[in-house]
Amino acid sequence: MNKKHNKPSITWRGIQHAITNFAVGYSFRVGFSDSSIWNIDWTQLGPLCQLVPFVNISDSAMCLKDVWEDGMWNLQGLATMIPTDIVQYIHQLPVTNNLDVRLTDAWTWRHAKKGEYTCSSGYYWLLQQNRDWNMICNMNWLWRLKVPSKLQHFLWICFHNALPINARQHHCNMVASPSCTRCSSPIEDILQRLRDCPHSRELWLRLNMRRYNNFFFEFDVNVWLHEMTKGTSAIFFITGVWYA
């Protein structure tokens, strides 16, 4: 069997990466609390029955409501021996509300009023985190540009390395070669396609873009896109990128 077909898709790898990042944005909602303390994953560590040597028979029918007192977890009444580090972890778990018989036990998204995750709430939450992001990754400035929306979306695609250039399509096994079809350069990446290919370079030279920035042909892709969409060069540059 070809091993290439066993490789997870880009979408699935993105989901797996997102699970790790977004897990800290959820907290457990204590509702009617009829859920078993042992058999559901309410700690994000896995079912509690798998984290202890054995469940004492006197505790086997325990529900979450039985270990929830005065707005905090109380495990002292359990006969089952739970490792100290797990007990400490449970005591630190954030809980969104006091016991509410109108609701069911569930994990909720803490950054939305209704506790339901949305793409917009997740996006803005991520912008507030320090996950190796910098000012270029905050795209609010892009949507404020006074240009047609198709150009805004095109720049957004470029920033996120999602432009369907040959290097990317070859990586996804969609084309036979990563080379540029216009100039036969071995690798057609975003910069090569939009700036460094002789056909694109001729356009930029005719527009005399170096009069706006002497390092026009030296920037890496994110700095290039970000710097040249500011000031008096913005309209010329964005139009040039579209036609490059």
Q: Please give the Cα distance from 108 to 116 (Å, whole number).
A: 6
- Residue 238: how many CB atoms within 10 A of its CB? 19
What pLDDT, in 10s, does the model give residues 26-73?
Answer: 877 766 667 888 988 888 788 899 999 999 999 999 988 888 777 778
- Radius of gyration over every alpha carbon of the chain, rounded to an integer in angstroms: 27
What pLDDT, in 10s, does the model give residues 86-138?
Answer: 999 888 876 655 556 677 777 788 888 778 888 888 877 777 765 544 545 56
Helix ranges, the chain (H): 10-22, 84-91, 119-127, 140-143, 149-159, 166-171, 190-191, 198-207, 221-228, 234-243
Question: What is the residue extent of each domain of the chain?
Answer: 3-127, 135-243
Supply the pTM of this predicted model.
0.49
In angstroms, how far apart are the furthest CA atoms of the chain?
82
